[in-house]
Amino acid sequence: MKKAVYPGTFNPITNGHIDLVERASGLFDQIVVAIGTNRQKTVFLSVDRRVDLARQVLSHLDNVEVCAFDSLLTEFAKQKGASIILRGLRTVADFEYEFQLVGMNRALEPDIETVFLAPAEHLSYISSTLVREIISYGGDISKFVHPVVARAMMDEFGQP
């Protein structure tokens, strides 16, 4: 069984993330969407809220599990029985950072491979950071996130 872990903060989960999981669900037997607590990032939504939203928007995929983690990614992948780390690439800048992570993860756990997928072209410019910025100014994020996520973000920002 090919099991992949797709880690991220998903703060919030975007249409680009959803697209990547949907396409990956046809490539792997099981995908674990691992919502992390990155100590270098300031998160807007609680980890429980991010897990709940991801479960809602990915519920149509039978081979996807969503859970939180707060450990080294390689340790979490081993715990889940995954031999693959799935990462999304949007830009060349993403690749530089991701390439460093591959080397570090390989040094920590040589038996775990990293696989990269790019989102569909029409979604490649979407990032959680930009979604948060747009909504913080009262902008419409409905083109970038699932309606459930848009509603949750509007509630968080006190928008009607």
Check: CB of residue 124 under 8 Å from CB of residue 16. Answer: yes
What is the spatial distance between Cα 1 and Cα 125, in angstroms, rounded to a whole number? 33
User: Which residue out of 25, 50, 87, 128 is catalytically annotated?
Assistant: 128
Does the active-site annotation cover 41? yes
Contacts of the segment 123-128: beta carbons below 8 A, 24+ positions apart:
123/14, 123/15, 123/16, 123/19, 124/16, 124/90, 124/91, 125/90, 126/14, 126/15, 126/16, 127/14, 127/16, 127/90, 128/9, 128/10, 128/11, 128/12, 128/13, 128/14
User: Which residue out of 3, 49, 78, 90 is catalytically annotated?
Assistant: 90
SS3 46: coil
What is the spatial distance between Cα 84 and Cα 144, in angstroms, rounded to a whole number? 27
User: Which residue out of 23, 41, 122, 143 is catalytically annotated?
Assistant: 41
Does the active-site annotation cover 146? no
Q: Determine phi and psi for 69, rounding to 5 degrees.
A: -150, 155
Does the active-site annotation cover 151? no
**Residues belonging to the active site:** 17, 41, 90, 128
